[in-house]
Amino acid sequence: MAFKDLKIGTQLMIGVGIITAMAVLLGATAVVQEESLWEDTSDLYEHPLKVRRAAGALEADILRMDRGMKNLFLTENEQEQEEILQGISADEADALQQFDILYDRYLGSRSDIDTVYTDFVQWNTIRGETIRLLREGKTAEAASRTKSTGVEGALIEKMIGDGLIIGDSALMKADELYQSAQQHKDEQTVQLAALLAVTLLLFFVISYALLKAVRDPLLELTGVSERYQHGDYSARSRIVSPNEMGALATSFNTLADTLQTELQARENATGIATGIAAISLHEDKLEPFCRDILVVLMQYTDSQVGAIYLINAQKTEFSLFESIGLSASARPSFSATMYEGEFGAALATRQIQHITDIPEDTVFTLSTASGDIRPKDILTIPVLSGTEVVAIISLASVRAYPATALQHIDDIWGLITARLNGLLAFQKIQAFTETLEEQNRELNEKSRELALQADELREHNIELDMQKKQLDEANRAKTVFLSNMSHELRTPLNSVIALSGVLNRRLRGTIPEEEYSYIDVILRNGRHLLALINDILDIARIESGREFISLRTFPVLELCNMAEERIGPQAVEKGIALQNLVNPDLPLMTSDFAKCQHILENLVANAVKFTEEGEVTVSAIVADDEVHISVTDTGIGISEDQINIIFDEFRQADERVARQYGGSGLGLAIANKYATLLSGSIAVESTPGKGSTFTLILPLTITLPIPETHGAAEWEVSGHSETPYHPVEHPGAGKTILIVEDSEPAIIQIKDLLEEEGYRIRVARNGKEALEEINNELPDAMILDLMMPEVDGFTVLRMLRSGDQPVRIPVLILTAKHITKEELSFLEGNGIHQLIQKGDIDRKSLLGTVGRMVSEPLEQMSQKPAQSPRHGVRDRPVILIVEDNPDNMMTAKALLREHYTPIGAADGQSGIDMARREKPDLVLLDISLPGKDGFEVCRTLKQDEELRHIPVIALTARAMKGDRADILSRGFDGYLSKPVDAELLEQTIWRTLYGA
């Protein structure tokens, strides 16, 4: 086989193999020559060079030994002589080593070395005799032996001369070795050059043969492909070879044949698509389109029979719509749900089906003069709308369909489907349009009727809007009325309760006991009336939707303990037992603690009130994520027909009982509304004469959004209470608390609470001020809001707890912000004392938390300077009372006269004039005044440069939720609600004037 017919891989392997063999031969030759050169160099070094060095070293040893012998005669010191003899012995030993080298490496006559060695041995004997003579004192005789004419001198000269012979012989041997190496080098250079020339010649010959074997076929194939690219589809390669180039040429020829066939098929497909497009352009009716499409398909597929079937409106069967060449006996329809016959596979698979084994019962037969002919092949083309078959196109031929015809059908299937679906949709739209036109005519009639009804509805809506406005106005009037009534009722109550308290203190022991008891009756009934007013306001606030829910998590036992603590004294007074049987291991509940407390205290108080003997028990269980708190008594009980009315406002079960036990009928109504507000309820079981069980049912967790607000209206502190609040010595009294809060109402309210307990309060309104205050003086504790401008609470806490010397003061977080899991983790990691949501605590809870916080030992304490009174306060302060009600004016003066100098004004303008004239130390200002109201008076005083330093405290009967925050936000320095508690009035004035 010729080299060019070998496979390209074989050709490459042969060429590379030859070149590799030559390279290996060239390398081996180089290695052999290099080894020869190394041997010459080694001989040159190991023999002549080392012999020459050893001869020189031997001559030096002999001369040093001779010089040592002569030095022996120059010294008379025995120690120096011994040192010289030791040096001679060392040189002698080195000389013997040089003799060993000469014997081992010398390439000349061995007798040359023997002669020198014999003389050296003889010299040793003579040298020993000379040393003996010297030691015996025969110095002259010994010295003569070492002279050049002496026996030693002559022998040394002979040894040096013989040594020169050895050195010259070594030089001659070195010249011989060098000449031999030069000759080897020249021979090796010629050999390497010849091998390299042969290798390069073989490389070029083989490269040319390989290049020609690959390039010529590639050039031929490139030329054929360029001809094919420029449209010569008959171009074919003439390469015939068993190697890869021959296979490539054969593949190219096959590909060219296939492409030529494909192009021809595409031209046919384009013709079909063009024909269908032409039909689509001028046919917008279904029947002529189907007929024309059958003509085109039959022409390009060489079919003899064609038919189109359309599905009916019920989608149950296909009916013959159009056909060409179909026998008259063909069935006009077939089932759409039964996949049978030649159409079954197309319906089931929703794909084009090519049937070659035609069944005997086919509907496709071709009628001819000689009879019906059964076709050889059938094509079934499903037309899809989404996944649903809406039409079937079937073609039949007496000859087998070529592959090109099948490819044509597959290429234009989507086009046929789109156009036929479009015409079907158009036909449906036309039918739908006709139906719509009919319906529009009917709708126009109904529209006229509806227009009349719309006019009537419009008039009705106008009436409803008017009614809504009237209801809104009535609701507003109700709120205003309740506010006004609160003011009007509290105003006289202020005088009744306050003056009764004054008389109670001043007249104790000065009047008969019976008359003194009248004062207690007046005071008790005044407070009872105040509680009734508060209940009415609570009902109004709930019904108006102004009641807020503040969530916190607490133990059920804590709730029940507080109820027991509050109502226990009443039970003791009546001589009945009040038992708290609540299990302390019950799960925590999340709800509004204050409202839960209100409900439970009302239920327990009622149980105690209506029980004359026996006991009242409080118990609790948890079932189905609900807590059931039951209050059971052994009292008078309630009949079944009266249970439904006890939760109505101002209703009681029995009027006679009401007269006996008293009550307004609002307690249970408020409790029930609060329970409903907390997604709970109150259940009642009672037996007349035996007792009752009231069960408060609440969810363990109620989830409500926490409002993002910095206001503190959710936990107001007012001056009224069923039992006056008497401050007691607090565990943290006298300690300094830093309040970091940007909301002024919140600052005032927290400050009022804490200052009543003896705390010294410092205030920072943002994070930056807080850090400055801490740098100036370290407080005992800090109450920190989180959401503040500039530097927020998180940053303040981070800066306090970080650094080389972190500040370890206790921190109480009091915020309205919803705390995320990540923020809670940060707060806990920085050692906060407690986290409280605004609105979640009452006065007692806050004071208890702060007391526990400041009672813990601190790492760092600071010196706290004593408080000083407000600058310019008189020894007996003058207090201006601006009040239009004479009774309230008299009451206020009576309460203040013991420690202060009260002066009064009956309206706003008079109050301003008196303030400018008298320059009082403090102003007690009513809000509802004739002429200028309290807000105008306060604004005028604060704008006056001479009066703006005078503190103004609001003394008002406005006690609706939000009134305190509103009043404080208008510039007032304090707030007291009527009726005024004498102790609270005294504390507020003292704190305002003296800061403690």
- Return the CATH number at 369: 3.30.450.40
**How far apart are alpha carbons 658 and 694 in whole angstroms?**
19
Residue type, 127: R
Can you name the residues that pair with 308 across neighbouring β-strands?
A: 322, 393
Count of residues for the chain? 996
Check residue 950 and report its DSSP letter: S
Calculated CA dihedral for residues 373, 374, 379, 383, nearest 10 degrees:
80
Claim to verify: residue 119 and residue 67 sit in the same structural domain = yes
- At residue 342's C-alpha, the angle toward residues 336 and 345, to 5°, is 65
Q: Are 239 and 217 in contact (CB under 8 A)?
A: yes
pLDDT confidence of residue 656: 52
- Give the 3-state DSSP-derived string for 721-759, with helices as H, strands as E and coil as C: CCCCCCCCCCCCCCCEEEEECCCHHHHHHHHHHHHCCCC
Helix or strand (DSSP H, E) at 50: helix 50-71
- The reply to whether 810 falls in a domain is no
pLDDT confidence of residue 902: 93
CATH number of the domain at 875, please. 3.40.50.2300
Give CA 832 to chain center in angstroms: 25
* C-alpha closest to that of 210 among 236, 237, 243: 243
Claim to verify: residue 565 and residue 640 sit in the same structural domain = yes
- The reply to whether 968 falls in a domain is yes
- At residue 966's C-alpha, the angle toward residues 708 and 982, to 5°, is 120
> Of 401, 421, 442, which residue sits at a domain end?
401
pLDDT confidence of residue 729: 44
pLDDT confidence of residue 359: 66
Phi, psi at 624, each rounded to 5°: 55, 50
- The reply to whether 477 falls in a domain is no
Q: Are 598 and 558 in contact (CB under 8 A)?
A: no
- The reply to whether 515 falls in a domain is no
**Total tally of structural domains belonging to the chain:** 5
Q: Are 166 and 102 in contact (CB under 8 A)?
A: yes
**How far apart are alpha carbons 324 and 338 in whole angstroms?**
25
**How far apart are alpha carbons 893 and 913 in whole angstroms?**
19
Q: At what angle do helices 50-71 and 139-146 cross, to 10 degrees?
A: 160
Which tokens go with 645? 């009315």
Provide the 10 A C-beta neighbour count for residue 189. 11
Per-residue b/e over 358-391, b at no fewer than 16 CB within 10 Å? beeebbbbbeeeeeeeebbbbbbbbbbeeeebbb
- The reply to whether 812 falls in a domain is no
The sign of the CA dihedral 274, 280, 281, 287 is: positive
Phi, psi at 786, each rounded to 5°: -95, -40
CATH number of the domain at 680, please. 3.30.565.10
* C-alpha closest to that of 787 among 707, 705, 703: 707
> Of 212, 244, 270, which residue sits at a domain end?
212
Claim to verify: residue 45 and residue 102 sit in the same structural domain = yes
Claim to verify: residue 326 and residue 302 sit in the same structural domain = yes
Claim to verify: residue 248 and residue 311 sit in the same structural domain = no
pLDDT confidence of residue 482: 64
- The reply to whether 506 falls in a domain is no
| Residue position matching structure tokens 């404080």 | 968
- The reply to whether 715 falls in a domain is no
**Burial class (CB within 10 angstroms; exposed 0-12, middle 13-18, buried 19+) of 250:** middle
Average model confidence (pLDDT) for the chain?
78
Helix (H/G/I), strand (E/B), else coil: 873: coil
Claim to verify: residue 305 and residue 266 sit in the same structural domain = no
Claim to verify: residue 208 and residue 68 sit in the same structural domain = yes
Claim to verify: residue 245 and residue 349 sit in the same structural domain = no
**How far apart are alpha carbons 470 and 479 in whole angstroms?**
14
Claim to verify: residue 160 and residue 298 sit in the same structural domain = no
Domain region containing 254: 236-278
CB < 8 Å & 24+ apart, contacts of 206-210: 206/14, 206/15, 206/18, 206/19, 207/15, 209/3, 209/11, 209/15, 210/11, 210/12, 210/15
Omega of the bond prior to 979 within 30 degrees of 0, cis?
Answer: yes
Claim to verify: residue 253 and residue 183 sit in the same structural domain = no
**Residues of the chain falling short of pLDDT 50:** 369-370, 658-660, 705-730, 839-840, 858-869, 996
The set of residues, in sequence order, having a beta carbon less than 8 Å from that of 873 and lying 6+ positions away, is 921, 993, 994
Claim to verify: residue 21 and residue 161 sit in the same structural domain = yes
Claim to verify: residue 252 and residue 312 sit in the same structural domain = no
Q: At what angle do helices 593-609 and 556-574 cross, to 10 degrees?
A: 30
Q: Are 529 and 493 in contact (CB under 8 A)?
A: yes
The set of residues, in sequence order, having a beta carbon less than 8 Å from that of 619 and lying 6+ positions away, is 581, 582, 629, 630, 632
Residue 737 zone, left/alpha/beta (φ > 0; ψ -120 to 50; rest): beta
Which tokens go with 423? 């015409």
**How far apart are alpha carbons 162 and 123 in whole angstroms?**
14
> Of 699, 726, 743, which residue sits at a domain end?
699
- The reply to whether 229 falls in a domain is no
